Structure 1
Amino acid sequence: MLLLGGVMIAGMMTAPRIAAAKAEANLERVNALIARMTIEEKAGQLNLQNDPFRWRPEGVNPGDALNTDQAQTAADIKAGRIGALFNGVGAATTRLVQDMAVKESRLGIPLLFAADIIHGLKTTFPVPLGETASWDLDLAERTARAAAVEGGAAGVHQTYAPMVDVARDQRWGRVVEGAGEDVLLNRLFAIARTKGFQGDDLKDWSSLLACPKHFAAYGAAEAGMDYNSTDMSELELRSVYLPPFKAAFDAGALSTMSAFNDLNGVPASGNKWLLTDILRGEWGFAGFVVSDYTSEQELIAHGFAADGRDAARIALMAGVDMSMKSGLYMEHIPDLVASGDVPIERVDEAVRRVLMTKAALGLFENPYRGADVRTERRVHGSREHLALAREAGRKSIVMLKNDGDLLPLPKTGKTYALIGPFGADSADLFGPWSIFKDTKLAVSLEQGLRSALGAGASLTVTKGSDVEAPIAGGIEAAVAAAQAADVVLLAVGESTEMSAESKSRVDIGIPAAQLALAEAVAATGKPVVVILRNGRGMELAGAVKDAPALLVTWFLGSETGNAVADVLFGDHAPTGRLPVSFPHRSGQSPFYYAHKATGRPSKPTDREFTSKFREVPHTALYPFGHGLTYAPVSYSPVRLSADAMAWNGELTASVTLTNGGTREASEVVQLYIRDRTASITQPVRLLRHFKRVTVPAGGSVEVALPLKFEDLLFLGQDLKPTVEPGLFDVWLSPDAQAGEPVQFTLNR
């Protein structure tokens, strides 16, 4: 044992030395390259352009003639004027394109291939917001790992994910890409997805360089309007919007993307305070910053730069290392350096960051890593990945409502009418940012339900309306189908075109044509199960809101139909929980659970002169954390291990869960706190821990969660983490509005 212990200690001491030696060797190689590079070649390494060779459908193969765009890009690569390409995939062409850089350019520096692999490549998993509804970090890491395997096999080295923007305004179209409204969930899913994409070794062919985005505060765009300005205090920025980025970088992410928005009057892609002072100076980030699509060029439209030359100068000096698409760096860096407007040292610094990342990816040793046609065929849409997509899909579904235990439905002996624009749809189920999806893998709701039904059961499918417009005779056909059925399955909600980048919405409700369809169907008196497709928290109204059963199914990806059938017919109980609040009305936006009390807190009994809107209570229709399963679970009063916490101490909060049903239940116990009195006003609740537990049918379980001194930290007036003695509320509850708190005192 002593010998074994000695070997283990020696190994632990040796590993950092080996890593340091490799890093030093990489640095020597990179510095030697930089010393040989012309200023044009340096600018080229910072120039990121669209991949015209491997864009879908795969554009060229060895022996094919190049079109004009491809020929120009090939010439630029060979001349050292391009250092990276994005949004091309395909193993067959990777070697052809990489050969242009490695074998035909003067210095032979390999290209970096990047792509928007947001929630899968060929196999598509639930959109990130939907997957976050699983509250399952292991699942998120596994789906990111599968996406990295498929991406790596297709010759990709970097993904522009995860998006870690905290999103509290459901009008914003890009809510769908992130982890919702809560800081803790965003931090934890940022870590899980970064680890999943990058794996254990960045040099492995199946590892993708993660790129947390969009730095920073893009999710707080005014009025939820995409690309809009963001204006907030530094306290809010550091308390809410920066922590998920820091978590991703601490997990090993070596790239990040600058945001489109301006922050307090300074565009993020020209913001030295963000990109250099905080990112580099405070956090020690060692990777590179890439602009979002032409965001450095957009400094001109912001009114922050006079022209393209000025925009390139500002962005580069602020800390943007790589220019995406605009070509401004390639066009202007040589002159900016020659004129003295940009020091050569700053250019060398940016080039060094890019080349060191390429070295970390192992591209100098193996520029063709991962691009193997046989591997690509084996992993794309593999049985393992499709099984994972189905698992992820069903775990992402949230049951908001189940009056009279309408669900689960029987597989046999019933007649079902699937009504709505998403019933037979096999195009919209993938969701936004699924640009490389394999449409042949799509399982529609109709297909999934039909495959699950048993003897004596039947399914009719009627569209009823388009997503945003009525269709002639649609409602009449839907009513007839409903009248002939035992149960109506109403597939309504948003299309991909309504929930994505540049798809902000003033009204986050169900489109009028679908609401009219829902009202007509509900008027038949048949029980209705709403199967909601969405990429945000929505306003629910009329027959959709009043339906006895309501499932939130997001955009679930390739296995949508099978995943929904698994839950609908009870093979798996719903286990998802909301990562965003569903407001009563669109006009409450932005609404999020962790709001401040204000000096006139909202009270149910006081209708005047309190913080609320006239028409609705200051609550969510369905709160953050809410989700039901197929058994009722009750919570006992919360118990604390002590009524006081010592300074630097710890308490335990406990609750008894009791299952009053005949099926076991999967429950997510959520621990919230409130600091009752502090030098900075605090939210009415803050999620600090959560734990998933299984409660046996008819049984009870005791759940204990730790509450540590560190959980009480907040940023003080000096913007430094602090804890102050005093009274705290604690909840162990099923969502952010439920339960009664207990209190303890923190003593100094």
Structure 2
Amino acid sequence: MKLKFSLLTALSAALLAAGCSTSPRSSQYDPETEKKIENLLGQMTLEEKIGQTNQLSCYFVPEEMAQVLRSGAVGSVLNALTPEVANQLQRYAVEESRLGIPIIISRDVIHGYKTVFPIPLGQAATFDPELVEQGARAAAVEATAAGIRWTFSPMLDIARDPRWGRIAEGSGEDPYLTTVMGAAMTRGYQGNGIGDPTCMAACAKHFVGYGAAEGGRDYNSTNIPERLLRNVYLPPFEESVRNCGAMTVMTSFNDNDGVPSTANSWLLKQVLRDEWGFDGMVVTDWNSAGELIAHGFAADEADAARLSLTAGVDMDMMSHTYFNHIADLIRDGKVSEKQLDDAVRNILRLKFRLGLFDNPYVDPELSTRVNYCEEHLAAARRCALESAVLLQNENRVLPFDPSKIKRLLVTGPLADAPYEQMGTWTFDGEASHTVTPLAALRETYGDRIQIDYEPVLAYSRDTATPAELAALTARAARADAVLVVVGEEAILSGEAHCLGDLNLQGSQRELMAAARRSGKPVATIIMAGRPLTIAEDLKNTDALLYAFHPGTMGGPALVDLLFGVASPSGKTPVTFPMVVGQIPIHYNHNMTGRPAAGTETLLKDTPVGAGQTSLGCTSFLLDAGFHPLYPFGYGLSYTTFEYDEIALDKQEYAADDTIRVSFRLSNTGDRDATEVAQLYVRDLVGSITRPVKELKAFARIDLKAGESRRVEFELPVGQLAFWGLDMQKRVEPGAFQLWVAGDSNSGEPIPFNVK
């Protein structure tokens, strides 16, 4: 049997079949809606127009908010926490204001609403866009039942610095993987789109370059030239907006090349509106219009409002600069009422597309039927299972055999930490519904295995005394195997949670060493929001499963993996550095004129009095070498896979051809498993230097033990296009190489040419 995977297959079974249009403007444009917008706009006072651009946060329904809504002075409300509150807010707006314009209620629903899925970085580790789409759909169904019709997700920032806390919120370092996952989330959130009451407007953020924040420090500056923006940072946004119809876009906090994104008219008008045809709504991040003053880009609040509106921002989130100053700016001739009208049109268009004018209310009983429903819990469990990455498995310690383990010691601060397990940005997930590894072990194997639990550390930054560690070693010696669960608390990653040291916090390293001294088999689970520098920790465990904060059903999923009910299939969505000093590090870097050859002398081997050029004049670090700890796309299984008979259908292609590469994939082990096959390409010579490898396609392939299959990828040559020296996007003819392998550092190159 031959399996065929085209580029569109990797984009979740073809974008068109999945509901993404190649022309969202034409598919969503409705003349009748535009007439309604113009009719309503014509009735609005200046103050009511300004009110539509004003977004406020409200955790309850105070009389002050009621008066604001009755006066039409707010267009969107953040953080209404229950369907009852959402309905009450809508009643003030719809039934008690002059024009009856509904508000749009928004919330940070990032990786689940009540049913929490793995953090987005973990979802990316699944390399399973269909499953990621299911997760976003579950989030939308639960959130819209509470009246939330707009989420600030997906985050499409390319992040190559794990010191940056918000790496947890995106899909990692690769533009293609981020594009695929962002498209899947957009489709999932928005469902069937116009007319679908479970449609929750997606918000492509942060536009743009935020993941390249200087020094890995949140809110910091970036300096990304236009060519790099277009080749690396903009493609995920273009796919989400242009081809999947994301209804909103959020500006980023950072300035790039000295221009804050919230005031960057080139980004918001030329690229987003003119080039991509976006007719949705642009919103600031929280107070990012007001922060133009702190940037030194605006003189005062009025100037900040002028710059933001002029640049193309439609709605102001929580700076109040639009509400307080636009009227005076129009009267003074510093902005035009037409500019305001254009912003209001985009806001009203979103509300019409969401069906809020026809049905602004929700059934208060609906949430009880959809929250934590079986379908959502099953999808969350599957996502947690597929997202876990097996990084080490010495002597095949995993999977555990329940018939041979009579006593299992479980230790570590995250073995039974339901809140921490959910990860960053989980405002609405409930710890009481989260199933931890310890709880799942007791539930599934407690009648067959004596499960001892001694956390030693209460939380990830906690410290232990030598006596406590010695006691753990003694207790571990009485067990047949030890499970250590360590990592990061949820608060250590996410927005504003950046780190300079990526080692395990507190006494967690010492805890692992204490378990290892028992001489018993040790398996470790690390739950974290980023790749940590764990090179020194590998010696203290036989097996290591890395679980980017796995959410509500993380415990049962991890226990299934520990005991071989399923085989790990996750792959690293980001490069793991050996040490922080290697950062930024990513697989798809440009080729230098002096690349490391692998034979250079490192610091520990450097003789005293060595000559200046004796160590190798290439691009490497004396003390950290040139290799990461784990490359992008890496992950072990409980079986082994073999790639062979890799062949292209021909050796030379025209620009409008499709490359067909076939190969045989074999499961050479004794367990059924899933492999993520990955296709990489290198453009050997270009008008600008090109990455050493670029991911262009991938596919999850299920194989039974001993099974082999012939697999085919189809890659349109047009996908090799890039923005070159002349700032035009095209495929440049010349020599290329192609790899098919299980990670970005494996396989042998196959040459081909484009004429």
| Alignment TM-score, normalising by the size of structure 2 | 0.92
Alignment partner for residue 711 of structure 1, among 719, 724, 731?
A: 719
Alignment partner for residue 702 of structure 1, among 685, 707, 710?
A: 710
Alignment partner for residue 671 of structure 1, among 664, 679, 684?
A: 679
For the 8 Å contact 1:638–1:741, the answer to whether it is kept is no
- In 1, Cα distance between the equivalents of 2:515 and 2:297? 54
Matched with 2:381 is: 390
- In 2, Cα distance between the equivalents of 1:22 and 1:585? 51
Q: Are 1:230 and 2:222 an aligned pair?
A: yes
Matched with 1:349 is: 342
For the 8 Å contact 2:512–2:541, the answer to whether it is kept is no
> How far off its partner does 1:408 sit?
0.8
Matched with 1:13 is: none
Q: Are 1:105 and 2:112 an aligned pair?
A: no
Moved more, 639-648 or 722-731: 639-648
Q: Are 1:27 and 2:34 an aligned pair?
A: yes
- In 2, Cα distance between the equivalents of 1:205 and 1:678? 48
Q: Which amino acid aligns with 2:81?
A: V
- In 2, Cα distance between the equivalents of 1:114 and 1:73? 16
- In 2, Cα distance between the equivalents of 1:545 and 1:433? 33
Q: Which amino acid aligns with 1:391?
A: R
Matched with 1:56 is: none
Matched position secondary structure for 1:729? strand
> How far off its partner does 1:701 sit?
2.0
> How far off its partner does 1:424 sit?
1.7
Matched position secondary structure for 2:192? coil
- In 1, Cα distance between the equivalents of 2:200 and 2:468? 46
Matched with 1:609 is: 617
> How far off its partner does 1:551 sit?
0.4
> How far off its partner does 1:413 sit?
4.4
Alignment partner for residue 536 of structure 1, among 530, 536, 541?
A: 530
For the 8 Å contact 1:140–1:192, the answer to whether it is kept is yes
Matched position secondary structure for 1:532? strand
> How far off its partner does 1:441 sit?
0.7
Q: Which runs of 5+ in 1 are unaligned?
A: 1-15, 54-59, 61-69
Matched with 1:119 is: 111
Correspondences of 1:507-586 after superposition (within 5 Å): 507-544=501-538, 546-586=540-580
Q: Which amino acid aligns with 2:685?
A: T
Correspondences of 1:265-664 after superposition (within 5 Å): 265-368=258-361, 371-414=362-405, 415-453=407-445, 455-465=447-457, 466-472=459-465, 474-544=468-538, 546-607=540-601, 608-636=616-644, 638-664=646-672
For the 8 Å contact 1:120–1:147, the answer to whether it is kept is yes
Moved more, 519-528 or 377-386: 519-528
- In 2, Cα distance between the equivalents of 1:725 and 1:83? 51
- In 1, Cα distance between the equivalents of 2:675 and 2:524? 22
Matched position secondary structure for 2:102? coil
> How far off its partner does 1:382 sit?
1.1
- In 2, Cα distance between the equivalents of 1:258 and 1:138? 27
> How far off its partner does 1:557 sit?
0.7
Matched with 1:86 is: 78
Aligned residue pairs total 714
- In 1, Cα distance between the equivalents of 2:28 and 2:174? 40
> Structure 2 vs 1, CA of residues 131 and 743 (structure 1 numbering), >3 Å: closer, same or farther?
same
Moved more, 471-480 or 534-543: 471-480
> How far off its partner does 1:298 sit?
0.3
> How far off its partner does 1:671 sit?
0.7
What do the CA deviations read for 1:267-287 (whole angstroms, capped 9, x no partner)? 011111111121111111101
- In 2, Cα distance between the equivalents of 1:359 and 1:660? 55
What do the CA deviations read for 1:623-682 (whole angstroms, capped 9, x no partner)? 111111111112226322223334433332232223221112211111111111111111
What do the CA deviations read for 1:107-150 (whole angstroms, capped 9, x no partner)? 11111111111111111111111011110011011110110000
- In 2, Cα distance between the equivalents of 1:606 and 1:438? 52
Matched position secondary structure for 2:666? strand
Matched with 1:11 is: none
User: Which has the bigger relative contact order, CA under 8 A and spacing at least 6?
Assistant: 2
Q: Which runs of 5+ in 2 are unaligned?
A: 1-22, 602-615
- In 2, Cα distance between the equivalents of 1:723 and 1:355? 40
- In 1, Cα distance between the equivalents of 2:475 and 2:257? 55
What do the CA deviations read for 1:282-313 (whole angstroms, capped 9, x no partner)? 11110111100000100000000111111111
Q: Which amino acid aligns with 1:718?
A: D
What do the CA deviations read for 1:478-529 (whole angstroms, capped 9, x no partner)? 2233122111111111111111110111112212421121122212222211
Alignment partner for residue 701 of structure 2, among 689, 693, 699?
A: 693
Moved more, 127-136 or 533-542: 533-542
> Structure 2 vs 1, CA of residues 681 and 142 (structure 1 numbering), >3 Å: closer, same or farther?
same
Q: Are 1:41 and 2:35 an aligned pair?
A: no
> Structure 2 vs 1, CA of residues 27 and 459 (structure 1 numbering), >3 Å: closer, same or farther?
same
**Percentage of pairs with the same residue:** 41
Correspondences of 1:98-177 after superposition (within 5 Å): 98-177=90-169
For the 8 Å contact 2:413–2:455, the answer to whether it is kept is yes
- In 1, Cα distance between the equivalents of 2:468 and 2:340? 61
Q: Are 1:208 and 2:200 an aligned pair?
A: yes
- In 1, Cα distance between the equivalents of 2:504 and 2:462? 12
Matched with 1:12 is: none
Matched position secondary structure for 2:295? coil
Q: Which amino acid aligns with 2:617?
A: F
- In 1, Cα distance between the equivalents of 2:29 and 2:297? 41
> Structure 2 vs 1, CA of residues 342 and 94 (structure 1 numbering), >3 Å: closer, same or farther?
same
Q: Which amino acid aligns with 1:40?
A: E
> How far off its partner does 1:545 sit?
5.1
- In 1, Cα distance between the equivalents of 2:163 and 2:27? 47
- In 1, Cα distance between the equivalents of 2:546 and 2:149? 34
What do the CA deviations read for 1:658-714 (whole angstroms, capped 9, x no partner)? 322111221111111111111111111011111221233123222222243213212
Matched with 1:57 is: none
- In 2, Cα distance between the equivalents of 1:543 and 1:251? 42
| Alignment TM-score, normalising by the size of structure 1 | 0.93
- In 1, Cα distance between the equivalents of 2:40 and 2:728? 42
- In 2, Cα distance between the equivalents of 1:19 and 1:330? 33
For the 8 Å contact 2:83–2:363, the answer to whether it is kept is yes
What do the CA deviations read for 1:187-242 (whole angstroms, capped 9, x no partner)? 11111110000011332221101001000110111111111000011111010100
For the 8 Å contact 1:126–1:389, the answer to whether it is kept is yes
> Structure 2 vs 1, CA of residues 502 and 633 (structure 1 numbering), >3 Å: closer, same or farther?
same
Matched with 1:67 is: none
> Structure 2 vs 1, CA of residues 21 and 382 (structure 1 numbering), >3 Å: closer, same or farther?
closer
For the 8 Å contact 1:411–1:454, the answer to whether it is kept is no
Q: Which amino acid aligns with 1:217?
A: G
- In 2, Cα distance between the equivalents of 1:210 and 1:23? 20
- In 2, Cα distance between the equivalents of 1:644 and 1:226? 46
> How far off its partner does 1:33 sit?
1.8
Matched with 1:65 is: none
